[in-house]
Structure 1
Amino acid sequence: MSTRDAKSWILIRDELLRRVRERVWEPGALIPGEVELAEEFGCARTTVNRALRDLADAGLVHRRRRAGTRVAVNPPHKATLTIPIIREEVEARGGTYHHALQQRGTRPLPAHLGGVFPLPDGAEVLHTVTLHYEDGRPYIHEERYINLANAPDLADQDFARISANEWLVQNAPYTGGDMSFFALPADAALADAFDTSLGTALFAAERSTWNDQGPITLVRMTYAPGFRMRTSI
């Protein structure tokens, strides 16, 4: 998928979402079909299909083959997550924060990440590895890929004073994102970062964000052994 394709389906998804939220289409209403919407937006039917799948995954519409797509009568209430600035998170607990930039450089996006971070073939990204500390102890190992075409000002940032996490939250607004949580065994780099044994189970979160211009960043945050995630609902 090209950056243009990613932009197109996100824009269409956002417009369809607006119509649902503002009740342009009432709950239970049958919405126009993919062909009709594709003609309205001047795009391929597959682009409309991708936008509708996203709304269906969120429980906002129900899709039935040969019966069309209807607005959900009782859409689920979903919890939302705000991307935290790690420094503020640590300091809010009364801790002392600092970070160490371990790697920084431009490179082609690894091929195996193309499915979760859609960029044109051969596109270069800024790759960084940062270790965040709380009270002098490693807290989060962050590996990040940034689409410089969508955040050109980052090319001049050295991240010595402010981390990529903090800079992006403050300067790169996003309109959507995907996030997954999982456990992974510590490889040599993570075992060294956290001074733990190879294979130690670690909590990790992987997140991609985008805006109307396309993908912004893909990041994996791996937390120190013993980390427990807490949130409120």
Structure 2
Amino acid sequence: MTGKEPNSWTQIREELLRRINERVWQPGSLIPNESELAEEFQCARTTVNRALRELASAGIVTRKRKAGTRIAINPPHKAILTIPIIREEVEAKGALYRHTILQRVKRSLPAFLSGAFRVSEDTTLLYTETMHFSDNRPFIFEERYTSLAAVPSFDALDLDSISINEWLVQNAPYSGGELSFFATQADAKLARNFDIAEGSALFATERSTWNQDQPITHVRLVYMPGYRMRTSF
């Protein structure tokens, strides 16, 4: 990153985090003050302040008035969630990816999701059902509510040319989210979509994302029988 680039607070946060992770700044060391960083990145001090506040809230730096900002000696170890693009997951296995939109309609949030996806009653939501395929075999069934207040351009999107999953990852930045994993059984709809018997055991996840105080989307993903999720940390 150079000082000539127009930097947002998120870009600055990522650059500061890179310096911390790569030990450009050592644990316990004092880093440049806000004015110096603002001059380096050619931005307002408030932009730098926002980036530093985010790092402080994550426990990566400690900030004291008149004493400056220091790199935490024992920062907390947290898992960082990167939302996977389903197409890339399929293609990484050497398989052919495609998706089909099964349903696309505007509707209100059902009551049973009110605790998981906190949108106001007048928020317009686009409800979609998508089937993702791997080599023409059912891979993931996706059931999603997306707030058009958060991503208004989503309403006119051609969902046949790019999956909702991929478009949102690329175009709807999020500042936080919640993720849950659970076992479920195939109801009539899932049995039909996966071509399996009703009651078959399936693996599922639910995820909600938001940007600051604005909810973006709530998605339920149900995976093909025998799916195994792997991750690293």
Could you tell me the TM-score, scaled by structure 1's length? 0.70
- CA shift, 1:198, in A, is 0.8
For 1:197, the equivalent position in structure 2 comes to 197
Q: SS state of the match for residue 62, structure 2?
A: coil
In the alignment, the residues of structure 2 paired with residue 123 and residue 211 of structure 1 have an alpha-carbon distance, to the nearest angstrom, of: 15
SS at match of 1:78: coil
Mapped pair 1:18 → 2:61: no
For residues 194 and 171 of structure 1, the distance between their equivalents in structure 2, rounded to whole angstroms, comes to 29
Counterparts of residues 75-90 of structure 1 (less than 5 Å): 76-90=76-90
Secondary structure of the residue aligned to 1:108 is coil
* Structure 1 position 21, deviation (Å): 2.6
TM-aligned CA deviation for residue 213 of structure 1: 5.0
Query: Which residue identity lines up with residue 56 of structure 2 in the other structure?
Result: R
Q: What percent of counterpart residues are identical?
A: 55
Spell out, residue by residue over 1:102-158, the C-alpha distance to the aligned partner (whole angstroms, 9 max, x if none).
000111111221111111124220000000000110000000000100000001013
What secondary structure is seen at the aligned counterpart in 1 of 2:63?
A: coil
Deviations 1:50-80 (A, max 9, x none): xxxxxxxxxxxxxxxxxxxxxx995642322
Aligned to 1:228: 228
Shift in Å, 1:217? 0.4
Cα distance in 1 between the residues matched to 2:212 and 2:203: 31
Take 2:120 and 2:76, find their aligned partners in 1: how far apart are those partners? 35
SS in structure 1 at match of 2:158:
coil
Distance 1:74 1:114 in 2: 37
CA contact (8 A) 1:101 1:130 kept: yes
Is 1:137 matched with 2:175?
no
- The superposition leaves residues 156-184 of structure 1 with CA deviations (integer Å, 9 ceiling, x where unpaired) of 01301111101100100111111000000
Q: Distance between the aligned counterparts of 2:148 and 2:178, measured in 1?
A: 19
Which sections of structure 1, spanning at least 5 residues, go unmatched?
1-11, 26-71
Q: Which has the higher contact order (CA 8 A, sep 6+)?
A: 1
Counterpart residue identity of residue 22, structure 1: V
User: RMSD of aligned C-alpha atoms?
Assistant: 2.2
TM-score by length of 2: 0.70
In the alignment, the residues of structure 1 paired with residue 197 and residue 158 of structure 2 have an alpha-carbon distance, to the nearest angstrom, of 31
Larger radius of gyration between Structure 1 and Structure 2 = 2
The runs of at least 4 aligned residues of structure 1 exceeding 6 Å deviation read: none
Secondary structure (helix, strand or coil) at the match of 1:167 reads helix
Q: Distance in 1 between matches of 2:94 and 2:86?
A: 13
Instruction: Report Cα offsets for 1:20-66 as digits up to 9, x if no partner.
Output: 432116xxxxxxxxxxxxxxxxxxxxxxxxxxxxxxxxxxxxxxxxx
Between the aligned partners of 1:85 and 1:73, the Cα distance in structure 2 is 35
AA of the residue aligned to 2:162: I
Number of the residue aligned with 1:151: 151
For residue 81 of structure 1, report the CA deviation from its aligned partner. 2.5
**Paired position in structure 1 for 2:42:** none
The reply on whether 1:187 has 2:187 as its aligned counterpart is yes
> Counterpart of 2:177?
177
- 1:231 to partner: Cα distance: 1.4
CA distance in 2 between partners of 1:225 and 1:193 (Å):
12
Post-superposition shift, 1:17? 5.5
Aligned equivalent of 1:4: none
